[in-house]
Amino acid sequence: MVTTVGTEDTFQDLVRNLILLERDAIAAYESTIERLDDPALSSQVEQFRQDHLQHLDVLNEMAAEAGAEAPLEGDMKQMLTTGKIALADLFGDAAILKAMRTNEEDTVTAYERAAHHQDAIEKSRAFFQKAHSDELRHREWMQRTSEAL
């Protein structure tokens, strides 16, 4: 999927949309953990889900500080991210991880853009860069691991 997150005009909209993106990602991670057959893979994916939960905590704090709406659940995209995982389940663990890697593309792109948003202050920019690094690590692991299976 191609995301527009990170192209918002205001910092408040950026934070709101990153929260939605994180909520969608967390749902996809939960779906993945439920479907993976290999407990070692599930354990690693759970560690990545914890990164997303931490990102969500920071984004909720940013929303409160910036006066932005902090959605309490994902949006319609959540059906796409989790549906992709459910479909991949028909083909096994490698397909599930490949589907998750495509989901990671959006978070990588969103945080890369967010780090360059004109209204980001040093503190938020540092968080966006850390989150971007996390997402790059997740995506690389999904790619490498799915190819090895």
Nearest alpha-carbon partner for 56 in 97, 22, 98: 22
How far apart are alpha carbons 125 and 115 in whole angstroms? 5
Task: Please tell me the predicted confidence (pLDDT) of residue 121.
Answer: 95
Ordered by where they begin, the domains of the chain are 11-148 (1.20.1260.10)
- Exposure of 98 in the CB half-sphere (CA atoms within 13 A): 13
pLDDT at 1: 60
Query: Which DSSP helix (H) or strand (E) runs through 89?
Result: none
- pLDDT means per 10 residues in the chain (149 residues)? 91 98 96 97 98 98 97 85 91 96 95 97 97 98 97
Angle (CA) 4 81 27, round 5°:
110
* Largest CA-CA distance found in the chain, in angstroms, rounded: 45
Q: In this predicted structure, what is the pLDDT of residue 138?
A: 98
Structure confidence at residue 63 (pLDDT): 98
